[in-house]
C-alpha cells in the first residue's frame, strides 16, 4: 500500500475505534422495521401501501455495515478479497440452499409445466444472483403476474451482490485518492440521477444502477463517521432529533407511498434519508435506545434475512395453487410459518455456519458453493425440459403445450400493441395512423384499458357485415377515470392521459363511445359505487365536448384464478374429470366481476347510459364460457381475463344488438 494510504490509515486509526466498538442492537431493530414493512405489504396487499420501501432501508443498512467492514480492514492492511466474499457466502448462501430446493420440490408437486419451467429459469437466475436482471428483462406490459414468481423477491439480493462485486475495489481506489468522499459523491449523484430520470419506466425498478445510490448512502455515512472521529459524535439533543425525524420519514414512506407510484425515483429519498438519520443518530438516539434496541425488535432483526427469504415463496405458492391471493387468515398463517422457518434457519443453519471454527470455514464455503451449483444445474435442466410436462396424464398434455398464453394467443397483436394500444399522449392530439382511427362513419370509439382494446377483434369481424369505423384510444392499466394518483402502463398519469382522450373525442365527435375496464386491475377503484361515480364523471366530461355521442359501458368479463388454461387443467385432473374439455366451468372464477356487475346493472338503469352485462352473455348456472369450439384456439380467455380473438368475436356477436350503430338499425 502506498504512502498516502499509510498516512490515511494512521489518521483514521483512532477514528475507526467507534466502528470497532462492535454490535449495534438498534441496527437490528431498524432491520425489524424493514422486514415487518415488507412482509405486511406482501401479505396484506391493501394495507401498508408503501411497505415495499423496507427494501430501500435494507440497502442503506447493508451499505453502511459492509463499507464499515471494508474500511476497518483497509485501516489495518488486512483487507482480503477472498475473505470478504467468503463472509458474504456464509451470510447469504445457507438460507438460499434451503429455500431453493424447497421451492423446486413444491413446484414439482403443484405447478403446471409452464410455471415450473419459469421456476427453473428463475432459480438459475437466483443462483447466479441476477434475479433483478431477469426481472428487468421480463418486465413489460405482458409480463407474468409478480405473484406467480415465488423467487421474485430475490431481485434485491441480486442488486446487493452486484454492488459488492464492484464496491470493494472501488472503495480501495477511492481511499488511495485524496478525495474519497468526493469520488463517492460522484457515484452517488450519478446513480440517483439515473434513478429519478427512469422512474416512470416500471422495469427500472429492478435496475442496479437505480439502487446503488441507496447502498452508497449507507457507505457514505460509514466513511463520514470514520473520518469524524471518536469524540465528534452528535450531541444527545441532535441524536434524539435525528432519530425522531428518521422514524417519521420512514413512517411517512411506508404509509404514504402506494404500489402504483413510479418508484424508486425521488420518492425513495424519503425512506433512505430516514434510515440514514436513524443510523447516524447512534445507539444513544431517543428512538434507537428506547424502541429499536428493545428485545422484540432486535430478535426480529436477527431473523430478518431468512424471514425475507421464506415469506414470499409461501405466499406465492398459495396464489399459484388457488389462483387467488390468500385472505387475511391464510396469509397470517403463512407469515407465521415463515417466521418458524426463519427461526429454524437462523439458529440451526445460518448462525452455526457463520460462527464455525476458522479452520472449517473454507470447507463450509466450498460446500455451499457446490450446493448452489447443483441447484442451478438441476434448474437449468428443468428449464430446458419445458417444466417436465410428462408429469401429467395425456388428457392435459395439449393444454400444457399452450405454454406462454400471450404468445400462443398473440394477445399483443389482438390488442394492436403497438401502435394503437398504449398510444403516447402527444399522439392522441396529433396524427394517429388510420388503422387506429378510421375515417369511416358512423364511428365507434373504444375508451379504457386492455379490456376495452379486447373488443377490437370482435368489432373488426363485425365490420364484414356492417359499415362503420373504429377508433381505438386504449392504454394499459388505464381505466377511463380522471384520478391524479394513478399511472397508466405508458407512464402517464390517468388524468393527464384521459384529458388527452377527451381532446381526441372533441376532435372526432364519435357516434358511439364504448367504455370497458378491468374492475380489479392495477388502477381500478375497489368499491363499485365509487367506480360507478367516477364513470359518470368521465361520461359527463365526454358529453360536454361531444354532446351527440351515445355511451355504452361494457360490464366486467369473467376472471379466472390464475389462467383459464390452468383452471381447465385443474378440471381435467380432478377425480371426476370430463372426457373432453368442458364448454363452461366455474373452477377458479373470481367473485369480484359479479359483484360489480350486480351493482352496475342497477345503477346504470337510472342514468340513460347503455349498460351491457358481459357476464349475462358469457355465463350460466354451469359457470362461464371456456371455449367456443373444439380447438385450443377456441378458448375464450388468454390469461386471467383478457379475451382471445374467439372470445372477443363471441362476445361482440352477442351484444351487438344492444349497441347503437352495431344493431344494424343505423341509429
Helix pair 131-138, 113-127: axis angle to 10 deg: 130
Is 191 a member of any domain?
A: yes
Q: Which of 173-187, 220-234, 432-446 has the highest mean pLDDT?
A: 173-187
Is 638 a member of any domain?
A: no
The 10s digit of each residue's pLDDT in 598-630 is 999 999 998 989 999 999 999 999 999 999 999
One domain, residues 497 and 385: no
Q: Which range has the worst mean pLDDT, 214-218, 240-244, 426-430? A: 426-430
One domain, residues 381 and 443: no
One domain, residues 440 and 478: yes
The 10s digit of each residue's pLDDT in 490-541 is 878 899 999 989 988 999 999 999 999 999 888 888 899 999 999 999 999 9
Q: Which range has the worst mean pLDDT, 65-74, 134-143, 430-439? A: 430-439
One domain, residues 333 and 423: no
pTM recorded for the entire structure:
0.82
pLDDT of residue 424: 60
One domain, residues 142 and 18: yes
| Contact partners, residue 31, CB within 8 Å, separation at least 6 | 58, 61, 300, 301, 304
The 10s digit of each residue's pLDDT in 363-415 is 999 999 999 999 999 999 999 988 888 888 877 888 888 888 888 999 999 99
Grade residue 48 by pLDDT with cuts at 50, 70 and 90.
confident
Average pLDDT, rounded, for the chain: 89
One domain, residues 413 and 380: no
* Residues of the domain holding 189: 3-391
**Residues 119-147, buried b or exposed e (16+ Cβ, 10 A)?**
bbbbbbbbbebbbbbbbbebbebbebeeb
Report whether pLDDT(190) > 60: yes
**How many CB atoms neighbour CB 434 within 10 A?**
10
One domain, residues 151 and 259: yes
Domain boundary among 391, 419, 436: 391
CA-only gyration radius of the chain, Å: 28
Q: CA-CA distance, 436 to 605, in Å (whole number)?
A: 32
Q: CA-CA distance, 494 to 447, in Å (whole number)?
A: 13
One domain, residues 434 and 490: yes
| Contact partners, residue 552, CB within 8 Å, separation at least 6 | 512, 513, 514, 515, 609, 610, 611, 612, 658, 659, 660
Task: Say if residues 427 and 439 touch (Cβ distance below 8 Å).
Answer: no
Report whether pLDDT(340) > 60: yes
Is 293 a member of any domain?
A: yes
Task: Say if residues 56 and 275 touch (Cβ distance below 8 Å).
Answer: yes
One domain, residues 470 and 328: no
**158 vs 262, residue with greater confidence:** 158
| Nearest residue to 43 (alpha-carbon basis) of 327, 240, 289 | 327
Domain boundary among 364, 391, 418: 391
One domain, residues 384 and 520: no
Report whether pLDDT(74) > 60: yes
Is 566 a member of any domain?
A: no
* Count of the separate structural domains present in the chain: 2
Q: CA-CA distance, 510 to 516, in Å (whole number)?
A: 16
The 10s digit of each residue's pLDDT in 137-157 is 887 666 667 888 999 999 999
The 10s digit of each residue's pLDDT in 284-322 is 999 999 999 999 999 999 999 999 999 999 999 998 888
pLDDT of residue 339: 97
**How many CB atoms neighbour CB 330 within 10 A?**
15
One domain, residues 118 and 26: yes
pLDDT of residue 232: 59
pLDDT of residue 428: 53
Is 398 a member of any domain?
A: no
Report whether pLDDT(263) > 80: yes
Instruction: Identify the three-state secondary structure at position 446.
Output: strand
**What angle is formed at CA 179 by the lines to CA 178 and CA 182, rounded to 5 degrees?**
175
| Nearest residue to 402 (alpha-carbon basis) of 557, 627, 566 | 566
Is 667 a member of any domain?
A: no
Q: What is the CATH number of the domain that holds 540?
A: 3.40.50.1110
Is 272 a member of any domain?
A: yes
Is 576 a member of any domain?
A: no
Task: Say if residues 338 and 311 touch (Cβ distance below 8 Å).
Answer: yes
Domain boundary among 358, 391, 424: 391
Burial class of 486 by CB neighbour count within 10 A (0 to 12, 13 to 18, 19+): buried
One domain, residues 219 and 282: yes
Report whether pLDDT(577) > 70: yes
Amino acid at each position: 500500500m502506498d504512502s498516502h494510504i499509510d498516512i490515511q490509515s494512521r489518521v483514521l486509526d483512532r477514528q475507526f475505534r467507534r466502528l470497532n466498538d462492535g454490535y449495534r442492537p438498534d441496527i437490528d431493530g431498524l432491520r425489524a422495521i424493514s422486514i415487518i414493512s415488507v412482509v405486511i405489504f406482501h401479505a396484506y396487499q391493501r394495507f401498508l401501501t408503501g411497505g415495499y420501501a423496507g427494501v430501500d432501508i435494507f440497502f442503506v443498512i447493508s451499505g453502511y455495515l459492509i463499507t464499515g467492514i471494508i474500511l476497518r480492514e483497509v485501516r489495518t492492511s488486512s483487507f482480503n478479497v477472498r475473505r470478504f466474499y467468503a463472509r458474504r457466502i456464509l451470510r447469504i448462501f445457507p438460507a438460499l440452499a434451503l429455500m431453493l430446493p424447497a421451492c423446486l420440490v413444491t413446484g414439482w408437486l403443484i405447478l403446471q409445466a409452464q410455471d415450473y419451467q419459469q421456476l427453473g429459469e428463475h432459480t438459475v437466475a437466483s443462483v447466479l444472483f441476477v434475479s433483478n436482471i431477469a426481472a428487468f428483462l421480463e418486465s413489460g406490459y405482458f409480463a407474468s403476474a409478480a405473484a406467480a414468481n415465488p423467487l421474485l423477491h430475490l431481485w434485491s439480493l441480486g442488486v446487493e451482490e452486484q454492488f459488492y462485486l464492484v464496491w470493494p475495489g472501488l472503495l480501495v481506489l477511492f481511499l488511495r485518492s485524496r478525495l474519497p468522499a468526493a469520488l463517492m459523491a460522484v457515484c452517488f449523484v450519478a446513480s440517483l440521477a439515473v434513478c429519478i430520470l427512469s422512474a416512470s419506466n416500471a422495469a427500472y425498478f429492478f435496475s442496479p444502477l437505480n439502487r446503488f445510490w441507496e447502498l452508497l448512502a449507507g457507505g457514505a455515512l460509514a466513511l463520514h463517521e470514520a473520518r469524524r472521529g471518536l469524540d465528534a459524535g452528535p450531541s444527545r439533543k441532535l441524536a434524539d432529533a435525528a432519530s425522531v425525524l428518521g422514524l417519521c420519514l420512514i413512517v411517512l414512506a411506508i404509509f404514504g407511498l402506494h404500489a402504483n407510484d413510479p418508484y424508486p425515483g425521488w420518492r425513495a429519498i424519503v425512506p433512505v434519508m430516514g434510515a440514514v438519520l436513524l443510523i447516524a443518530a447512534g445507539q444513544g438516539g431517543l428512538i434507537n435506545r428506547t424502541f429499536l434496541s428493545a428485545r422484540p425488535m432486535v430478535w426480529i432483526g436477527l431473523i430478518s434475512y431468512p424471514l425475507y427469504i421464506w415469506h414470499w415463496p409461501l405466499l406465492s405458492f398459495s396464489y399459484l395453487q388457488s389462483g387467488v391471493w390468500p385472505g387475511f387468515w391464510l396469509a397470517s398463517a403463512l407469515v407465521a410459518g415463515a417466521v418458524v422457518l426463519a427461526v429454524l434457519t437462523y439458529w440451526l443453519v445460518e448462525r452455526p455456519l457463520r460462527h464455525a471454527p476458522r479452520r472449517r470455514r473454507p470447507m463450509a464455503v466450498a460446500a455451499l458453493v457446490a450446493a448452489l451449483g447443483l441447484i442451478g444445474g438441476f434448474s437449468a435442466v428443468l428449464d430446458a425440459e419445458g417444466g417436465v410436462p410428462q408429469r401429467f396424464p395425456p388428457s392435459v398434455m395439449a393444454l400444457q403445450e399452450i405454454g406462454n398464453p400471450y404468445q400462443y394467443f398473440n394477445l399483443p397483436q389482438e390488442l394492436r400493441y403497438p401502435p394503437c394500444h398504449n398510444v403516447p399522449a402527444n399522439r392522441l392530439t396529433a396524427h394517429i395512423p388510420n388503422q387506429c382511427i378510421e375515417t369511416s362513419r358512423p364511428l365507434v370509439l373504444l375508451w379504457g384499458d386492455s379490456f376495452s382494446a379486447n373488443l377490437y377483434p370482435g368489432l373488426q369481424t363485425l365490420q364484414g357485415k356492417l359499415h362503420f369505423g373504429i377508433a381505438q384510444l386504449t392504454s394499459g392499466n388505464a381505466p377511463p377515470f380522471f384520478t391524479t394518483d394513478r399511472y397508466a402502463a405508458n407512464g402517464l398519469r390517468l388524468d393527464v392521459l384521459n384529458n388527452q382522450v377527451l381532446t381526441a373525442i372533441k376532435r372526432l365527435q364519435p357516434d358511439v363511445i364504448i367504455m370497458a375496464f378491468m374492475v380489479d386491475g392495477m388502477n381500478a377503484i375497489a368499491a363499485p359505487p365509487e367506480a360507478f361515480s367516477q364513470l359518470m364523471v368521465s361520461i359527463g366530461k365526454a358529453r360536454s365536448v361531444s354532446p351527440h355521442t351515445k355511451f355504452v359501458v361494457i360490464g366486467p368479463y369473467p376472471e379466472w384464478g390464475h389462467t383459464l388454461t390452468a383452471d381447465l387443467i385443474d378440471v381435467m385432473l380432478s377425480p371426476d374429470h370430463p372426457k373432453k374439455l368442458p364448454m363452461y366451468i366455474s373452477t377458479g372464477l373470481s367473485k369480484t366481476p359479479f359483484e360489480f356487475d350486480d351493482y352496475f346493472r342497477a345503477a346504470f338503469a337510472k342514468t340513460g347510459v347503455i349498460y351491457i352485462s358481459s357476464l349475462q352473455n358469457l355465463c350460466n348456472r354451469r359457470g362461464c364460457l371456456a371455449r367456443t369450439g373444439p380447438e385450443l384456439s377456441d378458448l375464450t380467455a388468454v390469461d386471467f381475463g383478457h379475451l382471445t380473438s374467439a372470445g372477443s368475436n363471441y362476445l361482440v356477436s352477442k351484444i351487438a344488438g344492444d349497441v347503437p350503430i352495431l344493431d344494424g338499425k343505423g341509429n
